[in-house]
Every structure is written in C-alpha cells, then in structure tokens.
C-alpha cells in the first residue's frame, strides 16, 4: 500500500487560510482545523499549531481565547493605491493589510486608478475579500487624460482612451481651446463637485484628427504623461554648451586615441553612447576598454538640462521614433561617440586573459577617437566569416564574450531573449508588415561587455572596505536590483508549463535550480509556436527590475552587485552612477541615501511609463495592421483567460485580440481562474490557456487599441 504523502507547510497554511477566510466570524483550534483538513499524521497536526502562531504573529489571525483563532478583522483606516481592473472592479493595495481591499463603485468617492488614497476598512460583506470605502484622495496619480472630443450645443465631453478611467470629462465650451468634433485632445480635471458623477475639466492641448500617425503617437506619449518635445529654454541651453576639448582637460584624462576603438549599434541609431577598444598586451593578455559617453562632463548637477533629464528619466522608444532624454545637440552630436571625432568618456578598462578572467580593472575619465562605426549586421558577418575590417579584434572580443556568457548562465543567469516586434512603415506611418528581430552573436558580444562593466562598477563601490581590510559600511550607490520570483507566481507558471509537457523545477526556492530549469525550458520552446507565449509568461512570473540604493543583487543575472553605468545618454540613473563613482574615487563621503532612494524611485517609475508607452505604440500598430483583414481566418494560441473572455495570440504575426465571452454563444461559460480555463456549463467544453484555435478577425478598434476575434474552431488542446 502506497504511503500517504505528508503535506508541506505552504499547502497547510493555504488550507488554513481558506477555511478561516470563508468563515470570518468563526474561531477554530488546531484540532478542529486538522479534522477539517483530514490530517491524521501527528507531524502535520503539530505543524498546524505552529502555523497558527506564525499567522498570529504576522497579524493575519487573532487569538480570541487560548488556542482559539479567527481571521483578524481589519477595520480602521489604511493608506494604499487604487487598482481599477478591466472588468470595472476596483481594489486598493496596501502594505498595511495582507490582502487587497475591494471598493464598490459607490465607495470610490472620485478616486481613480493608481491614486494614493485613505481607506476605511469594514467587516466583510462579500465572501472572500476585505471591503472598504475611500475617504480621502491623498495624491492623484495623474493630472491629464487623453481622449476624443464629443461636442453638443451647450457643452462637450472628452471621451477618455484610458480603460482604467471609468469617467469621461465634462468640458464647458469656453474651455475647449479650439478643439473640434472627434479630434483627439489632452484635458485636465479642474474640479469635481462631491455629488457630480463626471469630473469637470479643460482642454490643455489639441492633438489633431484621429487615425493620423503623428497624432496617435503624440496621443500615446500624452496618455503616459511623457513629453514629445523640448522647450525652447532647454534647447537654447544645449546650444550654449562648450564643446571644445582643451589641452588641460586632455591632460587630466587617460588617452585612448591611439588604441583601436569602434562602436557597434543598430543601423538606425544616432546616439552612440558606448565604444569598445582592444589592445594586445606584452603578456599576450587583452586590454578591453568599455568607453561610455561622458555626459556628466557637459551636464552639470541642478542645471536646466540636468533637471530635464531627471524629469524624463529615460529615452522613450516608440515604433517609429526615439523621444530622447537629452536634447539632440547632446545625444546625437556632442556626446555621441561618432567615428573620427575626439570624444570625452568615462571608461571601465579590463586586462583579461584568454579564459576571460579579469586580471586588472581600472575606472576613470578618458579621451577616445573611434576608428569605425559598425552596425550589428556588419559585425555579425565578420563573426560568421572571420573576414573584414578589424576582424581579428572582433573575433577575439567575441571569443571572450562567449566565455563570459557561458559562465554567466552556469552561475544562474536566466536567458531572457524575447523577439523584438518591428514594423515596416510607409511614408505616412501605415504598417506594411510586421516582423520579429532576433538577437545574434554580435548583440551578445556588446551585451556581455556592457554587463561586465556594470557588474564591476557596482562591485567596486559595493564591496569596497577600509584600508585596514575590515569591511566598512557601504556607501550610498545606485543599484539595478531584481528580486527573486514570487513563489506562488512561479508555482502557477510551472503548472501552466506542464500543460504543454514542459517541466519546471521550482527547486524549493533554490535560485540556481530555478534559473537552470527556466533556461532549459526556454531552450526547449525555441522555435515552437508556443515560444512567444511561454517566454511572455516566464517574464510575467518574475519580479520587475528597479533602481534602488538598497542592494539585494540581481536575480535574473545572478549578480550580487549590479548597476547601470553604460547608457547615460538615454538613462538618468547612469548619470547618477557616473557622478557617484567620480565622487567616491576622489575620496568623497557617502551621499544622502534617502535623497538618492527617492531619485531611484522616480527613475523606476519613468522607466515603467516608457515601457508601457512602447507597448501601447506596438499594440496600436498591430491593430492598424490587422484593420484591413476583417473576416479573415487565422490560427492562434489562447494567451490569456479572464472573466470577460479569451485572449488569443495569432501564430503568424503575434498580434493579440479578444474573443469576448458574450461571443462564446454556444453555451454558458464559467471562468476557472485556478486552472486558466473557461468551461461550458452544459457541454463541458473547455477552453484553456495554451489551446490552439482558429479565429476570425471581427473588429479592429484603433481608439481602444483592441482587436476583437470570433472563435471559429478549436484545433488542439494542450
């Protein structure tokens, strides 16, 4: 007879919380809970008692009598952030309570998505969720909204594009600023009387007619409150920058002008912010220089350009353009490491042996003169053929990069390499085709040396000790951190991957086991039609990388110390790192941690907005690309299962659309969140994440950036 498997602590805790959550007014002792959970093993029953004490210590439960426990009633006031879900429901997420707080529409009290609010929590009225009422909006998450103007005789409305904005803005005619019927515009809320449903606002910018390429790109930037241009004041300040390099400045720097140096960038790049130099040493080792544009030499702290760079935080990359963090005078000319021009750099220089071991390192300010501007495609041809200009240098660099890359993965780094969606656009911005850009060895070559520089700069500051050899208190620094994946998310992803026949070993939380298993999975799915779906869900199961002064290491790279040093033209945190590194190399005291942590939080937030704007521009162009294909049939994979329907990703072009639940009209379908599926109540027909289906292109809504599909046939279940 098979031995009964003992339940682990995690599954027991989940079972206990389910019982108590579903019966919030009842109290239980460990014997009662053990009986309900059908526990007969003494070790398991003892573990229940331990879990109850731990949950009480973490204030999730309260001990109302000795040995009797019930769910803690979280009543009173807490602060949190509003999350408006696509299904219209609203929740507040707060660090002060262990679960999200449900807010009914009547209790929103004019709070909007992502607002920081004060909530009064009360006893549960719904079965599982804590409920509350918003009593104060502490801080609005945004001031402006993008939408389409609808005019009537006496007033107008701005019909907002934002799906998380449940209200349209009422616009008095005097506040239209010349906006015409159906034009896209930006408006801000001026006031919102207590008993009035819609906020009252004014138009602050008229964008133009919908469907026009430039109008739509500007609308996306405005939706995420990102600027589309520089003010005249900032541009004039950039023009006044002294670009001459005097002899005294050269004397203060290490001179790399005689050393073979080149840049490797995308074909359409204009801002070359990194270069590589290669020099053979007498001992046969290779000296590799990673030379980064010395932006902070030209941009002084607290100057108008510096403030502009800080406010923007990052360059923004849309499908057809780059919105630079710094004016083009700096990003494309003064600081860009263009060939045959003397340029000032901040460099990381490494002596490396043939096994890619770093023998010596040096950091400091330099002057370079790039010999050649390569594209990735040109370098790839040299790698493939072994022939071409500077082929010896490129081959040796690539050999070192291969070793660095192999070592990195062996140490637990995860191979995240999702294909990049690209469009071929005509002169009016209309998408002619969609394709996917794969990364080659040329990309990996550059990547490995940038990672090497970032890692060693972070170690240089983070690991530095006193002269007597004792480790001193770490100086304030800007790290790029990435936390371990959430255990529940990882377990859910493993369960999903198993439906495709892939095994993901979560390793009991062991980082190396997890990363090795993820890399194996990503290798196995390469070239399969479910590749993009699996890769996307892998990324979603991970934590988000952010900037912080509180170093916890970078899980995805398996680096205990990591920063961003190599792109100061397009990322403000890199400018912060350059300044801190220079300050500490000159013997400066540790900077104010709180001030830099606030700057890190801002940079992380601006990066998030930039990424979302890029995704929105891709989504818009995907919908536009499919808009003339109404009625056509495509094969796809179910990429998402939600209460309101099935998301399907087309196999051919990775465009994603929604099969709305109301259009699954052959049965009454019920949503099963735990098993990622929809099940027909009468037929038992199941649609689950990963199923292959045929869909008809039903509707392309450019305003909502949404494709609607009709299900025509289920081809295969996972």
pLDDT exceeds cutoff 90 at 203: yes
Let me know: does 500 contact 690? Beta carbons within 8 Å. yes
Over residues 52-61, the mean pLDDT reads: 82
Hey, CA dihedral for 532, 535, 539, 545, is it positive or negative?
negative
Separation of alpha carbons 217 and 219, rounded Å: 5
Query: Within a 13 Å sphere around the CA of 14, how many CA atoms are in the beta-carbon half?
Result: 7
The CA-based angle 488-491-496, given to 5 degrees, is 125
3-state secondary structure 146-187: EEEEEECCCEEEEEECCCCCCCCEEEEHHHCCCCCCCCEEEE
Q: Which two tokens stand for residue 206?
A: 């008229």
250, 297, 352 from 365: Cα distances, Å = 10, 10, 20
pLDDT exceeds cutoff 60 at 170: yes
Residue 587 lies in a domain: no
Instruction: Quote the pTM value.
Output: 0.84
Separation of alpha carbons 178 and 219, rounded Å: 17
Separation of alpha carbons 672 and 469, rounded Å: 59
pLDDT band at 2 (very low <50, low <70, confident <90, very high): very low
The whole-number pLDDT of residue 479 equals 98
The whole-number pLDDT of residue 502 equals 86
User: Both 134 and 149 in a single domain?
Assistant: no
The whole-number pLDDT of residue 126 equals 47
Say whether 304 sits in a helix, a strand or coil. helix
Range of lowest pLDDT (159-168, 249-258, 324-333, 482-491): 482-491
Question: Last residue of some domain: 557, 575, 609?
Answer: 609
pLDDT exceeds cutoff 90 at 333: yes
pLDDT exceeds cutoff 60 at 253: yes
Q: Which two tokens stand for residue 501?
A: 């026949």
User: Both 218 and 341 in a single domain?
Assistant: no
Over residues 627-632, the mean pLDDT reads: 96
Range of lowest pLDDT (69-78, 388-397, 492-501, 558-567): 69-78
User: Both 55 and 180 in a single domain?
Assistant: no
Q: Which of 243, 234, 241 is nearest to 305 (CA)?
A: 234
Say whether 9 sits in a helix, a strand or coil. helix
User: Both 197 and 313 in a single domain?
Assistant: no
Q: Which of 607, 634, 618 is nearest to 696 (CA)?
A: 634
pLDDT band at 533 (very low <50, low <70, confident <90, very high): confident
Q: Which two tokens stand for residue 150?
A: 């609808």
The whole-number pLDDT of residue 403 equals 98
Q: Which of 341, 348, 393, 352 is nearest to 366 (CA)?
A: 348
User: Both 82 and 196 in a single domain?
Assistant: no
Separation of alpha carbons 64 and 200, rounded Å: 49
The whole-number pLDDT of residue 74 equals 60
Question: Last residue of some domain: 71, 91, 123?
Answer: 71
User: Both 86 and 105 in a single domain?
Assistant: yes
Separation of alpha carbons 563 and 52, rounded Å: 41
User: Both 88 and 214 in a single domain?
Assistant: no
Say whether 499 sits in a helix, a strand or coil. helix
Over residues 149-165, the mean pLDDT reads: 91
User: Both 175 and 287 in a single domain?
Assistant: no
User: Both 44 and 162 in a single domain?
Assistant: no
Q: Which of 237, 207, 219 is nearest to 298 (CA)?
A: 237
Range of lowest pLDDT (348-352, 474-478, 595-599, 711-715): 711-715
The whole-number pLDDT of residue 223 equals 94
- Residue 668 sits in a domain whose CATH number is 2.40.50.140
Let me know: does 289 contact 257? Beta carbons within 8 Å. no
User: Both 29 and 80 in a single domain?
Assistant: no
The whole-number pLDDT of residue 471 equals 54
Q: Which two tokens stand for residue 471?
A: 């480790």
pLDDT tens-digit readout, 424-433: 999 989 999 9
Summary mean pLDDT of the chain: 90
Range of lowest pLDDT (298-307, 480-489, 528-537): 528-537
The backbone torsions φ and ψ at residue 185, rounded to the nearest 5 degrees and listed phi first, read -150, 165
pLDDT band at 73 (very low <50, low <70, confident <90, very high): low
The whole-number pLDDT of residue 5 equals 56
Print the domain residue range for 214. 144-223
Residue 406 lies in a domain: yes
pLDDT tens-digit readout, 498-507: 877 888 887 6
The whole-number pLDDT of residue 59 equals 73
pLDDT band at 417 (very low <50, low <70, confident <90, very high): confident
Question: Last residue of some domain: 223, 243, 264?
Answer: 223
pLDDT exceeds cutoff 90 at 373: yes
The whole-number pLDDT of residue 175 equals 96
Residue with tokens 């731990």: 54
Helices (H), 186-241: 213-223, 232-239
Residue 318 lies in a domain: yes
- The residue length of the chain stands at 718
User: Both 443 and 308 in a single domain?
Assistant: yes
pLDDT band at 25 (very low <50, low <70, confident <90, very high): low
Over residues 66-80, the mean pLDDT reads: 80
Range of lowest pLDDT (61-75, 76-90, 639-653): 61-75
The whole-number pLDDT of residue 468 equals 41
Whole-angstrom distance between the N-terminal and C-terminal Cα of the chain?
Answer: 33
Number of structural domains the chain divides into: 5
Let me know: does 119 contact 79? Beta carbons within 8 Å. yes
627 exposed, middle or buried (CB, 10 Å; 0-12, 13-18, 19+)?
middle
């Amino acid at each position: 007879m098979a031995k009964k498997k003992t339940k682990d602590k995690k599954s027991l805790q989940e079972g206990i919380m389910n019982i108590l959550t579903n019966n919030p007014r009842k109290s239980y002792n460990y014997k009662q809970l053990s009986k309900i959970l059908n526990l007969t093993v003494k070790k398991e029953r003892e573990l229940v008692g331990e879990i109850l004490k731990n949950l009480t210590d973490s204030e999730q439960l309260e001990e109302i009598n000795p040995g009797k426990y019930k769910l803690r009633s979280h009543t009173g006031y807490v602060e949190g952030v509003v999350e408006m879900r696509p299904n219209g429901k609203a929740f507040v997420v707060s660090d002060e309570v262990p679960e999200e707080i449900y807010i009914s529409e009547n209790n929103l009290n004019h709070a909007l998505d992502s607002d920081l609010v004060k909530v009064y929590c009360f006893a549960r009225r719904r079965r599982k969720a804590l409920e509350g009422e918003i009593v104060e909006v502490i801080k609005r998450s945004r001031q402006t909204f993008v939408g389409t103007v609808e005019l009537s005789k006496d007033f107008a409305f701005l019909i907002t594009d934002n799906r998380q904005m449940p209200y349209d803005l009422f616009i008095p005619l005097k506040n239209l600023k010349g906006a015409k019927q159906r034009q896209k515009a930006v408006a801000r809320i001026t006031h919102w009387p207590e008993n009035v449903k819609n906020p009252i606002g004014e138009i602050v910018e008229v964008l133009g007619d919908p469907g026009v390429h430039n109008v739509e790109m500007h609308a996306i930037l405005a939706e995420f409150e990102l600027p589309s241009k520089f003010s005249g004041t900032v541009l004039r300040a950039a023009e006044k920058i002294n670009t001459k390099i005097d002899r005294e400045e050269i004397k203060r720097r290490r001179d790399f002008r005689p050393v073979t140096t080149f840049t490797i960038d995308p074909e359409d790049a204009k801002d070359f912010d990194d270069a590589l130099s290669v020099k053979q040493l007498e001992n046969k080792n290779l000296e590799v220089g990673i030379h980064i544009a010395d932006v902070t030499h030209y941009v002084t702290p607290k100057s108008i350009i510096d403030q502009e760079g800080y406010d923007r935080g990052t360059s923004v990359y849309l499908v057809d353009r780059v919105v630079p963090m710094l004016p083009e005078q700096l990003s494309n000319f003064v600081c860009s490491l263009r060939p045959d021009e003397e340029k000032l750099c901040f460099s990381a220089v490494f002596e490396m042996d043939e096994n890619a071991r770093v023998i010596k390192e040096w950091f400091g300010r330099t002057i370079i003169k790039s010999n050649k501007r390569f594209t990735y495609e040109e370098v790839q041809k040299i790698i493939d053929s072994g022939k071409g200009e500077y082929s010896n240098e490129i081959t040796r660099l690539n050999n070192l990069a291969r070793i660095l890359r192999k070592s990195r993965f062996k140490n637990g780094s995860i191979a995240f390499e999702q294909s990049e969606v690209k469009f071929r656009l005509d002169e009016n911005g209309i998408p002619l085709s969609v394709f996917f850009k794969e990364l080659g060895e040329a990309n990996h070559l550059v990547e490995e040396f940038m990672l090497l520089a970032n890692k060693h700069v972070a170690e240089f500051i983070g690991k530095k000790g006193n002269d007597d050899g004792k480790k001193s208190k770490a100086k304030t620094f800007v790290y790029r951190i990435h936390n371990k994946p959430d255990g529940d998310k990882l377990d859910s992803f493993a369960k999903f991957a198993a439906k495709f026949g892939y095994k993901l070993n979560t390793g009991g939380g062991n980082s190396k086991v997890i990363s090795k298993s993820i890399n194996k999975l990503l290798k196995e799915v390469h070239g399969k039609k479910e590749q993009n779906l699996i890769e996307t869900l892998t990324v979603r199961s991970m934590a988000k990388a952010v900037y912080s002064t509180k170093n916890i290491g970078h899980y995805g790279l398996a680096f205990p110390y990591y920063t961003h040093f190599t792109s100061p033209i397009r990322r403000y945190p890199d400018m912060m790192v350059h300044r801190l590194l220079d300050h500490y190399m000159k013997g400066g005291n540790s900077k104010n941690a709180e001030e830099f942590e606030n700057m890190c939080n801002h940079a992380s937030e601006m990066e998030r907005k930039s990424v979302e704007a890029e995704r929105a521009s891709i989504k818009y162009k995907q919908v536009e690309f499919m808009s003339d294909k109404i009625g056509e049939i495509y094969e796809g994979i179910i990429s998402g299962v939600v209460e309101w329907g099935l998301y399907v990703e087309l196999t051919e072009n990775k465009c994603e659309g929604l099969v709305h639940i109301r259009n699954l009209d052959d049965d009454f379908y019920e949503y099963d969140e735990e098993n990622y599926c929809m099940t027909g109540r009468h037929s038992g027909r199941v649609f689950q994440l990963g199923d292959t289906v045929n869909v008809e292109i039903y509707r392309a809504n450019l305003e909502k950036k949404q494709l609607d599909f009709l299900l025509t046939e289920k081809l295969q279940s996972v």
